[in-house]
Amino acid sequence: MAERAWIRGAQRGSVSDLEALFREHWSRAYRAAYLVVHDAAAAEDIAQEAFLAAVRSLDRFDRRRPFGPWLHRIAVNRAIDWARAAKLRAEAEEQDVAAPERPEADERMLPALATLDPDHRAVIVLRYLLEYTPGEIADLLDLPRGTVNSRLRRGLDKLKERLE
Amino acid sequence: MKRELQRVEIPGEYDARRRTWEVVRAAYAEREPVSWPRRHARELALAAAAVAVVAAAVTPPGRSVVNSIRDAVGREKVVGVRNAQRDLVRLPARGRLLVQTPRGAWVVQRDGSRRLLGSYRHASWSPRGKFVAGVLHGRTLVALEPDGTVRWEKPHRQRLALPRWSFEGFRIAYFAGSTLRVIVGNGTGDRSLGPGDPGVAPAWKPQTHEVAYVDVEGDVRIADADRRGLLRRISQREPVRSLEWSSDGRLLLVIRTQSVTAYTPSGKARASVAQWGLGISGASFRPNSHEFAFAFRERFRAGRSTVCLSGRGAGCLQHIFEGAASFRSLTWSPDGNWLAIGWPAADQLVFVRVGRPPKLDAVSNVSRQFLSRTFPGIAGWSR
């Protein structure tokens, strides 16, 4: 309910309501983008771009719709695009990179996630960080629900393998 | 799992949040809170502008109105449609766009979200938009789903180009070197159809397995892909740039550098546009119609181009859009109401509703949105 009031206030010009929306949603959008792209600067750009798109579309935004899924849809889809493009760049450039240092036990999640495809990372992040149901993820990513379930299963199996 | 994901430390998170808030607040400050009539003023203004564009086809005074609202030409840069959206946030009609950049093929959903499928070239939609065919690294033919999942791939020794699906998706015609080949839609039964021009995409006649292509002499051939027999040869005096069938398969549009002709399958010219300006930069049949849009560079107004609707005879039946430099990638929405026009000099994608009521919508910064240094091409608008 508060979110609708913030959107209405922001549409009428209230900076404090916009800030409330920003406070509520930025961290999760930024973290979701980071966990897909594994690049802090890119995640910042992606989350920023999603919020700028929200500001530009504010007047047309339907207040009956929840703001979070709309924002996350933009952020996660752009993160997937960025991660795919980065992968292509890496393939094209084939740069030599130094071997990473062995991570601490509590720092294993990020490298383990990095071994997954961007599409698998995205469904894991949407399911377990942003807590969408598989049906909602299917809507957000425009995928069949079965594909979401299989990506979740495969992604979790691979993560488990890496973390054990 | 949630705890683990939340515990991942992101370097510089606090600063990123501060920087982003500053940018968002600045963007917000630039906008004004608006009342309903002002909130919809842009749509109303665009509708009025589009009405004027259409009116210009009919009356000289209308043309002067168009001149007053048309895009401005800077000394060094084409400004394009004013008040264009900065982001592609939604398509004006149902369906999805397939966009080709040097980096690869992208799918744009109705809500404007974009997905890079991978480094595929020569991408094209299957007839119902369920699959995309493309060429990977020049020598592998790939069929994939619109989310990027590969269904099958077929490596080849020769350089591959321009895969195109038949009407029901059971065949794909493509070039391997300068040989036109046909493969079954599931990746089996690959065979040669004969030599051709690998610079012009083959075009399947709807409801048949007949394919039109340009042969090595530059003439248009229509062949039965299953029987591997030549059905018709239509001689050409001018280099052909592309081929396209009308939705009912009764007309074949042959697009050349200086002219466009719609032929019946028996090779008889039914409609033609020739000697229009300094050359034709593109043409496309309107779905479920024998009308076609064509773009040409103006002869008497240096540096300008125009998009017209033609059909039922010859010439420009309706003036659709005009602007500086040239247009490309004319692509109709599946319902035939909207025409997408690529405008590289302005880095804009312009959507014009050709039906009633007329409407104009434009998106700027198109190259940046597709992470490309060059202007992307529209490879199709699927159902």
Listed residue (A103, A112, A143, A111) closest to A126, CA to CA = A143
The ranges of chain B with pLDDT < 70 are 30-77, 275, 313-314
Listed residue (B179, B289, B193) closest to B244, CA to CA = B289
Q: How far is A33 from chain B (nearest CA, A)?
A: 11
Residues 6+ apart with CB under 8 A from B315: B273, B308
Q: What pLDDT sits at residue A4?
A: 87
Domains of chain B, each with CATH number or no CATH: 70-382 (2.130.10.10)
**Nearest chain B alpha carbon to A132:** B2
Q: What pLDDT sits at residue A56?
A: 80
* ipTM field: 0.85
Q: What pLDDT sits at residue B77?
A: 65
Confidence of residue A97 (pLDDT cuts 50, 70, 90): very low
Q: What pLDDT sits at residue B44?
A: 54
Residue B231 and residue B222 in contact, taking contact as beta carbons nearer than 8 Å: yes
Domain total for chain A? 1
Listed residue (A28, A26, A31, A5) closest to A17, CA to CA = A5
B44 exposure class (CB count in 10 Å sphere: 0-12, 13-18, 19+)? exposed
Please answer yes or no on whether B86 and A74 come within 8 Å at the CB atom: no
Residue B155 and residue B196 in contact, taking contact as beta carbons nearer than 8 Å: no
* Residues A2-47: tens digit of each pLDDT: 888 899 888 888 888 999 899 889 989 999 999 999 888 888 888 9
Q: What pLDDT sits at residue A13?
A: 85
Assess whether pLDDT exceeds 90 at residue A104: no
The letter for the amino acid at A77 is N
Interface test with B, best of A31, A57, A142 (most B CBs within 10 A): A142
Residues in B touching A107 (Cβ below 8 Å): 9
**Nearest chain A alpha carbon to B111:** A74
Q: What pLDDT sits at residue B46?
A: 59
Residues in A touching B17 (Cβ below 8 Å): 26-27, 30
Please answer yes or no on whether A47 and B20 come within 8 Å at the CB atom: yes
Residue A107 and residue A163 in contact, taking contact as beta carbons nearer than 8 Å: no
The letter for the amino acid at A17 is D
Q: What pLDDT sits at residue B191?
A: 93
Would you give the DSSP letter of residue B9? -
Whether pTM > 0.90 for this model: the answer is: no
**Nearest chain A alpha carbon to B39:** A59
Assess whether pLDDT exceeds 70 at residue A91: no
CA distances from B307 to B252, B315, B321 (A): 20, 12, 5
**Nearest chain A alpha carbon to B110:** A142
Q: What pLDDT sits at residue A106?
A: 47
Q: What pLDDT sits at residue B75?
A: 39
What's the length of chain B? 383
Domain that holds residue A78: 2-163
The two tokens of residue B122 are: 């020569």
Would you give the DSSP letter of residue A58? G
Q: What pLDDT sits at residue B66?
A: 44
Domain containing residue A111: CATH number = 1.20.140
Q: What pLDDT sits at residue B13?
A: 82
Q: Which H helix or E strand runs over B230?
A: strand B229-234
Q: How far is A36 from chain B (nearest CA, A)?
A: 11
Q: What pLDDT sits at residue A90?
A: 57
Residues in B touching A15 (Cβ below 8 Å): 25, 28-29
Q: How far is B1 from chain A (nearest CA, A)?
A: 6
Would the CA dihedral through A58, A59, A62, A64 be positive or negative? positive
